[in-house]
């Protein structure tokens, strides 16, 4: 089947194989679960009690997601988006890419889709890692029971959807900047600066207007904004705004590489 957009997407997907961003997805997905697993095994005497707790699954997912969302998820999204978007700049292949028989609109959205699918891959690996935090000790040590508590599938899916949406403004703005600037350090520096600003401004009355705050805000602003501000709407709005702005700037840019 010869569908132009799918052909462009396939080409962009192949480019990311073996890149630092691809490895970042794998390593980042398992990093926090691995650290939590080491800590739980280190305190082995309390492990059986953790596994028999009625909230065994909720506790481990809450711990892992909180550690991930506050720091590593935003930083990882900043880094991975910048790395993927800047592939042509680093390899000096923008001219070759733009002379290929493909529409600029297809190219813009194919690259963005690659980043979003990689983000979904990260979430899938992270959830697998969190599950293994509980499952591996039960398999390795006969004295550690597998939890009788039901797996909170609905809660896990809700958290994944919420934090995926919270990541989208970061993806869109990093994508916008990375397409406009040749120097990899510029989008990386801007992203890190905005992320630090979101942490510093957490106590500000209008902190929810900072586009990089929504991942950490799920845990640090939940009580403060309960019933007053819908962070999901703000995140979706920023994603739409930055995506449209990025597309317009990319199409209008005279020198694209």
Q: What is the pLDDT of residues 181-197, one digit of tens each?
A: 888 889 999 999 999 99
Tokens standing for residue 77: 């999204």
Question: How many Å apart are CA 103 and CA 175, to the nearest integer?
Answer: 18
Query: What whole-number distance in Å separates Cα of residue 109 and Cα of residue 24?
Result: 22
Residue 20 is predicted with a pLDDT of 87
Residue 165 — pLDDT band, cuts 50, 70, 90?
A: very high
- Of 223, 232, 229, 227, which is closest to residue 158 (Cα–Cα)? 232
Query: For residues 43 and 2, which has the higher predicted lDDT (pLDDT)?
Result: 43
Rg (CA), the chain: 20
CA angle 199, 203, 209 (to 5 degrees): 70
Contact 22, 120 (CB under 8 A): no
Exposure string (b/e) for 68-104, b if CB count within 10 Å is 16 or more? Answer: bbbeebbbbbbbbbbbbbbbbbeeeebeebeeeebee
User: Burial code of 140-155, b = ≥16 C-beta within 10 A, e = fewer?
Assistant: eeeebeebebeebeee
Give the DSSP H or E segment for 3.
none
Cα separation of 136 and 151, whole Å? 16
Q: What is the pLDDT of residue 99?
A: 67
Distance between the two ends of the chain, CA-based, in angstroms?
30
Pair of tokens at residue 100: 């290929």
* CA–CA distances in Å: residue 23 to residues 17, 76, 112, 190, 235: 9, 11, 18, 23, 27
**pLDDT at 2 (0 to 100):** 56
pTM (global) more than 0.85: yes
Query: Highest mean pLDDT: which of 19-23, 64-68, 123-127?
Result: 123-127
Q: Report the pLDDT value the prediction gives residue 181, as an integer from 0 to 100.
A: 87
pLDDT at position 230 is: 87
pLDDT band at 238; cut points 50, 70, 90: very high
Cα distances from 176 to residues 142, 223, 256, in angstroms, run 52, 32, 13
């Amino acid at each position: 089947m010869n569908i132009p957009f799918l052909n462009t997407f396939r080409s962009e997907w192949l480019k990311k194989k073996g890149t630092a961003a691809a490895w970042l997805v794998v390593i980042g997905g398992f990093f926090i679960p691995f650290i939590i697993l080491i800590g739980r095994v280190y305190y082995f005497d309390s492990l059986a009690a953790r596994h028999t707790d009625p909230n065994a699954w909720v506790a481990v997912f809450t711990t892992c997601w909180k550690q991930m969302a506050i720091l590593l998820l935003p930083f990882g999204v900043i880094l991975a988006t910048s790395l993927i978007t800047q592939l042509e700049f680093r390899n000096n292949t923008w001219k070759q890419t733009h002379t290929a028989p493909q529409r600029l609109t297809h190219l813009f959205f194919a690259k963005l889709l690659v980043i979003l699918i990689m983000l979904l891959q990260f979430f899938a690996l992270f959830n697998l890692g969190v599950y293994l935090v509980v499952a591996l000790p039960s398999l390795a040590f006969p004295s550690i029971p597998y939890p009788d508590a039901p797996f909170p599938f609905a809660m896990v899916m809700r958290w994944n959807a919420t934090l995926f949406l919270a990541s989208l403004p970061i993806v869109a703005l990093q994508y916008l900047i990375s397409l406009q600037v040749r120097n990899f350090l510029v989008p990386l520096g801007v992203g890190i600066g905005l992320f630090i600003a979101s942490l510093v401004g957490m106590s500000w009355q209008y902190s929810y207007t900072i586009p990089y705050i929504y991942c950490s805000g799920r845990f640090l602003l939940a009580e403060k904004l309960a019933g007053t501000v819908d962070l999901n709407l703000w995140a979706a709005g920023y994603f739409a705004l930055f995506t449209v702005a990025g597309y317009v700037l990319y199409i209008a840019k005279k020198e694209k590489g």
